[in-house]
Amino acid sequence: MLLLCNYYVTYRCNAFCEFCHFADHSQFKETEFAKLDDFKRNVLELNKLGVKFIDLTGGEPLLHREIHLMAEFAHKLKMQTSITTNTLLYPKFAEKLAGKVNLLHFSLDSPYKEVHDRIRKVKCYDRVFDSIEIAKSIGEYPDILFTVTDETYKDLPKMYEIALREDLVLIVNPVFSYFGNPGLSEEALDYIEEFIDGKSNVYMNNAFIKLRRDGGNHVDKPLCKAVTRVIVISPHNEIVLPCYHFRNKNIKITSSISEIRKSEEYKYYEKMEGKFEFCEGCTVNCYFEPSFAFPTNNYALASIPSKLKYSYNKLIKQKFLSTKK
């Protein structure tokens, strides 16, 4: 059952993060943006197919001039929308996006300005806090997304202080092994797990730690549901299989998505999800979050407490804060 669409509205990015391999800066000038008409047609069909969540992603999604129209369209269909941004362009879009994004994430990689800006290779630390102030002034409560690496995991206490000060949720996003990135050490995993235990205003899917300790996905007993629960669409109006991170096949959307999903080619990738050679050891958060959506294994069960805590913070606590204003 499809749950999530990762819709890449562009591969362009205006930052050059050390741990990120998503943006294609080598083809910066040639990179396309998703066309609004294609987006609307695809999202209408995805909604009928039962997709509940749509992540408007990139690259840097706010580089798309019509990102607010995309968020508005999906939101009107009662789909849960999410955007993660480095905030460089958020002040420009803040009013246009207000009320249209259910999960708005502001990336912050360090509590220290010089470290954050070095990791991002652009000066955007101050813009994050400017954007938080703007967002809260219009009744928005973004999450602070902290991608934790072996270099930065001991900054968790300081990051937590920032989240408490701002009355925002801190999302702890463990970096995953990808394109030579070694991921997190056992020492870092121990530290993170111990620190977040019992903390309010902090979210991390507990199953992510277990997954890493168990060596990630194993092709002989795959955990990944990157094809059956997730659909990835590129800025070029293509379905990307089996996932964006290890894309092996791009299928141009020239017919209905329903028809494409019935094809032998698509069925092959469904059958092979989590079983390709490159799937061995995978811990890519984007696909294991929806893979653990239902309590069908120990990983899914491990994720439940953290999801309940996050839901409390977003649906109850922050709603209360917004009504006080």
What are the tens digits of pLDDT across the range 187-219? 999 999 999 998 889 999 999 999 999 999 999
Average pLDDT over residues 279-305: 91
Residue 6, SS3? strand
Residue type, 126: D
Q: With CA atoms as reference, report the closest residue to 281 among 225, 221, 227, 231.
A: 221
Helix H or strand E segment including 16: none
Give φ, ψ of 169 to 5 degrees.
Answer: -80, 135
For 109-154, how does the pLDDT look when each residue is reduced to its tens digit (9 = 90+)?
A: 999 999 999 988 889 999 999 999 999 999 999 999 999 999 999 9
Contact of 94 with 134, CB cutoff 8 Å: yes
Q: Which CATH number do you get for residue 225?
A: 3.20.20.70
| CA atoms 46, 289, 240, 38: torsion sign | positive
Q: With CA atoms as reference, report the closest residue to 64 among 106, 93, 30, 43.
A: 93
Q: What is the pLDDT of residue 125?
A: 96
Contact of 144 with 204, CB cutoff 8 Å: no
Answer yes or no: pTM beyond 0.85.
yes
| CA atoms of 156 and 159, how far apart (whole Å) | 5
| CA atoms of 204 and 218, how far apart (whole Å) | 22
Residues 6+ apart with CB under 8 A from 129: none
Continuous H helices in the chain: 36-48, 67-76, 90-97, 113-120, 125-137, 156-166, 186-196, 206-213, 257-262, 264-272, 285-291, 298-312, 318-324
Q: Please state, rounded to an integer, the average pLDDT across all residues of the chain.
A: 91
286's tokens: 């984007």
Q: What is the pLDDT of residue 234?
A: 96
Q: How many domains does the chain have?
A: 1
Q: What is the pLDDT of residue 322?
A: 61
Residue 250, SS3? strand
In which band, very low, low, confident or very high, does the pLDDT at 20 lie, cut at 50, 70 and 90? Answer: low
DSSP string, 121-165: TS--HHHHHHHHHHHHHTT--PEEEEEE-TTTGGGHHHHHHHHHH
| CA atoms of 192 and 147, how far apart (whole Å) | 12
pLDDT over threshold 80, residue 317? no
DSSP 251: E
18-27, 98-107, 150-159, 276-285: range with lowest mean pLDDT: 18-27
Pairing mode, if any, of strands 249-252 and 238-241? antiparallel
| CA atoms of 200 and 164, how far apart (whole Å) | 9
Domain that holds residue 226: 4-324
| CA atoms of 270 and 261, how far apart (whole Å) | 9
Q: With CA atoms as reference, report the closest residue to 242 among 219, 273, 212, 218.
A: 273
| CA atoms of 234 and 5, how far apart (whole Å) | 11
Burial class (CB in 10 A: 0-12, 13-18, 19+), 217: buried
Residue type, 147: T
